Chain A
Amino acid sequence: MADPTTLPSAQTAAGRWSLRVLALGYLGALLFVPVAYVLVKTFGHGIGRVIDSITTPAAIHAFQLTLELAAIAVPLNTVFGIAMALALVRGRFPGKGILNALIDLPFAISPVVIGLALLLVYGRGGWLDGLPFQVLFSLPGMALATIFVCLPFVVREVAPVLREVGDESEQAAATLGASRWQAFWRVTLPSIRWGVAYGVVLSVARAIGEFGAVSIVSGNIAGRTQTLTLLVQERYNNFDKAGAYAASTLLALIALSTLLSMTITRRREP
């Protein structure tokens, strides 16, 4: 335990430094060191090995499928998330409190449970068994699982921003002749754009990193329903550690590049 008399006094130089060391040490132990270690392990056997293992047909397909799932889930959740945030912040309707709590359900429930639930609903003998197209062990089921797990991000990022910007500028737009649709596109959306962007980045990261729910509904068929995270697991189980590290690095790079692209665009803003 640190001395309780020095801890709150962040004013002193010693206090400031100990806080910095504490914060960086925490992040370092939990984040930087493991990720850096994965990178070291990945490139430890030379860049050639890495390129070989991420350009196998199974790896390329897994990469494409992962992006495809993100490309389905993220736009849907973005539109839904903005609409839902508008309803929660601006709307007045019965059951709003319950709806507000329900949106966090995908955060609260383990993805494995979500996967099992989908299996029960769409599987043999389930409520929605017998649809004209296959849901489980194919793209629709994986898309459903991915949509479910990243559902709350855009709502949760946009709602507080909407609350903060208020609705006066929308009212001003209305008095200037703008329809609700025009006011939304020209005034509301630009003023919440960073909330939306952050929600999208988090959704992308969550979508490409999803493992539990997708692993249950996908069947994990290499070259057909295997995403990058499933590929990492398979390689690891097959004692192909180098291959697992290489695929992990690819995953990390996708997430990092979405985050970076947002940070760079944001910095260009006035």
Chain B
Amino acid sequence: MIRATSITKRFGDFTALDDVSLEIPDGSLTALLGPSGSGKSTLLRVIAGLEAPDAGSVEIAGADATGVPPQRRGIGFVFQHYAAFKHMTVRDNVAFGLKIRKRGKAEIAARVGELLGIVGLDGYAERYPSQLSGGQRQRMALARALAVEPRVLLLDEPFGALDAKVRGELRAWLRRLHDEVHVTTVLVTHDQEEALEIADRIAVMDHGRIEQVGGPRDLYDRPATPFVMRFLGPVTRLGERLVRPHDLALSLHAAPGSLEAQVARLVHLGFEVRAELVLGDGEEVAVQLTRAEADELELAAGDIVHVRSTALPEPEPLSA
């Protein structure tokens, strides 16, 4: 268990973390999700000991770690830009922590071989980081962090520098790796899809505070604040409420709670159809339908339709 209590961190006038408390259960994969400048990376670096908090304490595995240097926290850290040791081969990169710990040669060789297998870099041991692709470099960095058997694995935007396709592959791979290795993992990301896909717990951050902590479905279905709702997925406004475009239903006749609107534009996105409506008061609403639903209503631009929310439970009022 990692417990951060009342952490405050300022950089000059900028408050990166404002009295933040968070508990991370053993064996979980927790995502710190938020826009840039929300304090998520700073929180991760405070947990790692790479940044000293101005106030508050960090506890790792039941022991106070606030004043403990990063060397002795039992952590593995993975950086967005790999932080590879460029003058060392892949083998020496992965072996680094073990050599510092003065492990025997045979033990190091065996452990490095095993880790290169786990991250799928068999046969790359003698290469230099400059001879690897971005995805391979990041897998090498993961192997390097895992080599010292950390109690906690901390990942700072680990896939942020990679292109979309590789990012998708590595996400799935990291999720499988976590299921095998079970090391408590904290992942910093600004990508809500990434957090929803691989984390079993998500802490949404904004302006140096934690907005909400919960499982991916909890946060998506029951966002505590409009910020969380907006950040986790597409939203549109219906009257006084924020709703997800797929939680709106269209009909040709008025129904209880429905509002009259005119179809301004239809966008066909493969299987789904996005209908952009204009309400009587001029407000715009986006509705997401399946193609079958759109065909059944025989929707066309200019039609008058009735729109209502089908969201359960009731979405939060906008006035928060």
Contacts and interface: CB of A to CB of B under 8 A. Distances in A.
Interface in B124-156: 128, 141, 144-145, 147-148
Nearest to A165: B86
Interface string B84-108: 1111000000001100110000000
B256 to A, nearest CB: 58
A123 B48 CA distance: 57
B156 to A, nearest CB: 10
A191 B145 contact: no
A187 B97 contact: no
B79 A176 contact: no
B85 A171 contact: no
Contacts of A191: 85-87
Interface range for B: 20 to 34
Interface string A66-88: 00000000000000000000000
A94 interface: no
Contact of B50 (A174, A176, A187, A270): A174
A3 to B, nearest CB: 43
Given A168-B81, A182-B100, A270-B128, A175 B87 contact: no
B71 interface: yes
Contacts of B223: none
Contacts of B100: 176-178, 182
A169 interface: yes
A191 B83 CA distance: 12
Nearest to B84: A169
A64 interface: no
A85 to B, nearest CB: 18
Given A182-B100, A270-B128, A175 B85 contact: no
A179 B72 CA distance: 10
Contact of A177 (B83, B86, B128, B148): B148
A23 to B, nearest CB: 30
B76 interface: yes
Interface in A156-197: 168-169, 171-179, 182, 186-187, 190-191, 193
Given A171-B50, A270-B128, A176 B97 contact: yes
Contacts of A182: 100
A270 B101 CA distance: 28
A43 B79 CA distance: 60
B87 A176 contact: no
Contacts of B85: 169, 172-173, 186-187, 190-191
Nearest to A179: B71
A172 B148 contact: no
B79 A172 contact: yes
7 contacts: A169-B84, A169-B85, A174-B50, A177-B97, A178-B71, A178-B96, A182-B100
Given A169-B84, A193-B87, 9 more contacts: A169-B86, A171-B50, A171-B77, A174-B70, A175-B70, A175-B73, A175-B75, A176-B76, A177-B148
